[in-house]
Amino acid sequence: MAAPRLVTLADGVAEATVAPDLGGGLASYDLVGANGRAALFRPCRDLSQAGPFDLANNLLVPWSNRISGGGFYFGGRFHPLEPNLPGEPYPIHGNGFSSPWSVESAAAERVELLLTSNGPGPFCYIARATYELDRGALTMGLRLRNLAAEPLPFGLGFHPWLVRTPVALLQAKAERVVLENSGHLPAGEAPVASHAEWNFASPRALPAGWINNAFLGWDGRAAIVWPDRKLALDVEADAALSTYIVFSPAAGADFFCFEPVSHPVDAHNLPRGPEANGLTILAPQETMFASCRFRPRRLT
């Protein structure tokens, strides 16, 4: 398979490589300069063979993570949704991450992508994604417009795959953690303080084993610190992104995911309804927007 087209952004401090054909994702985001190149997001190793989850970042639209039950009820009727990945029993992450995006504009430090989608299920929408570098900081933005003829619950988010080293630390204060069952669906909530190994209010090492949990009541600020690399990455997210998800299979993995998103897993089907669980009800032609900034810094 031929390598996909790429758009490279560079500002002299950092470089980011965008892959419009691969779900509008990132192939890399690196710090550059006199000290050499340092990967901040896990880089894609072989673009000619890459699937979405081999990338450095995925765009999540028109929802994040899994939806159970074959779909969801809204507006007085059931909206069916089919699984979209081999081996996954539930539809996951919408379809933006697996669709080719067109390039609307591109400059040295900024690119804007466009996706118009008829589906999945009832979701007809147009989305615009932007990546922009400014003195090394990477800002990612997503704007979505409902093109369906009825109101629908939409969500969005970003799915960076960060470099994991043996001493990597995460700081991201939250109020509650969502527990998961064997199908990676919600199994209740608990105060973060009741699970010390998941309490990232202060810098903490990632668990040695599996973690795949949503954290609620996030203040939109986080930091990833690599003491062994003398690097850190500060995260600033819009208020619309009040949830984050941490995923890593084990300590031996070369990545972990820190995903700023608008809602927890299966928000379409959770008690109290989609809007109470972070989804945004968009009437026809209404829009929603969210952005997140990742700012690198070198440690002394």
pLDDT of residue 92: 98
- Interval 74-87 mean pLDDT: 96
What is the pLDDT confidence band of residue 35, given thresholds at 50, 70 and 90? confident
pLDDT of residue 131: 98
CATH number at residue 204: 2.70.98.10
Q: Please state, in angstroms and rounded to a whole number, the distance separating the CA atoms of residues 88 and 11.
A: 39
Q: Please state, in angstroms and rounded to a whole number, the distance separating the CA atoms of residues 36 and 38.
A: 7
The answer as to whether 216 is a domain residue is: yes
Count Cα neighbours of 296 within 13 Å in the Cβ-side half-sphere. Answer: 27
- The answer to whether 132 and 276 have CB atoms below 8 angstroms apart is no
pLDDT of residue 4: 81
Structural domain boundaries enclosing 253: 7-298
The alpha carbon dihedral of 245, 93, 158, 35 has a sign of positive
- The answer to whether 114 and 102 have CB atoms below 8 angstroms apart is yes
The answer as to whether 235 is a domain residue is: yes
Looking at the 3D structure of the chain, how many domains does it have? 1
Predicted confidence (pLDDT) per residue in 120-141, tens digit: 999 999 999 999 999 999 999 9
Predicted confidence (pLDDT) per residue in 83-103, tens digit: 999 999 999 999 999 999 999
The answer as to whether 130 is a domain residue is: yes
The answer as to whether 1 is a domain residue is: no
Structure tokens of 44?
Answer: 């894609």
Does residue 157 carry a pLDDT above 70? yes
Residue 167, C-beta contacts closer than 8 angstroms, at least 6 positions apart: 205, 226, 227, 228
For the chain, the first-to-last Cα distance in angstroms comes to 43
DSSP state of 107: -
The answer as to whether 290 is a domain residue is: yes
Average pLDDT over the chain reads 97
What is the pLDDT confidence band of residue 34, given thresholds at 50, 70 and 90? confident
Length of the chain counted residue by residue: 300
- The answer to whether 224 and 233 have CB atoms below 8 angstroms apart is yes
What is the pLDDT confidence band of residue 300, given thresholds at 50, 70 and 90? confident
The answer as to whether 2 is a domain residue is: no
Q: Please state, in angstroms and rounded to a whole number, the distance separating the CA atoms of residues 265 and 277.
A: 9
Q: Please state, in angstroms and rounded to a whole number, the distance separating the CA atoms of residues 185 and 41.
A: 26
What is the pLDDT confidence band of residue 33, given thresholds at 50, 70 and 90? confident
The answer as to whether 179 is a domain residue is: yes
pLDDT of residue 2: 66
Exposure letters 80-104 (e unless 16+ CB within 10 A, then b): ebeeeeeeeebbbbbbbbbbebeee
The answer as to whether 275 is a domain residue is: yes
pLDDT of residue 1: 56
Predicted confidence (pLDDT) per residue in 241-299, tens digit: 999 999 999 999 999 999 999 999 999 999 999 999 999 999 999 999 999 999 999 99
Share of the chain above pLDDT 90, in %: 95
